[in-house]
Amino acid sequence: MIKISKPVQLLEWGEGTNTNNQNWSLMAKGSISSKPKRKEGVTTIIVEVSGQLEKKNAKDDSVKVMQQGEGMTPFTDKWGEVAMGRLRSIEKSGGKTLVYIDVQAATKVGR
């Protein structure tokens, strides 16, 4: 379940050629800026990035959304996957960086 009140980490798929160098790496940290919106079966998550956004793999737009104590790691301090989607866009406005992620799988959202 995606919790709006918890911080998130965004991971991107690596640019390598084998399992040693093609893995998920941290792209950004931040928080969900508003309640995710659903339209025609696609949930759009908007993440406000705190700090740097480092997108290294321009060939792949896969993004994994992680939250602490969620996904397969309930009630711990470990980060667990809550959604996986495609990077739609990155917008910079007024000193903020917003990342738009489209998730096509069923998602449950809570506070």
Q: Which amino acid makes up residue 28?
A: A
Phi, psi of 84, deg, nearest 5: -135, 130
User: Is the CB of residue 85 less than 8 Å from the CB of residue 65?
Assistant: yes
pLDDT on residue 99: 94
For residue 35, the 8-state DSSP code is -
pLDDT tens track for 2-61:
888 899 999 998 877 777 777 889 999 999 988 888 888 899 999 999 888 888 888 889
Tell me the C-alpha to C-alpha distance, in Å, between residue 100 and each of 1, 17, 92: 18, 27, 11
Domains of the chain: 2-110 (2.30.110)
* pTM, two decimal places: 0.85
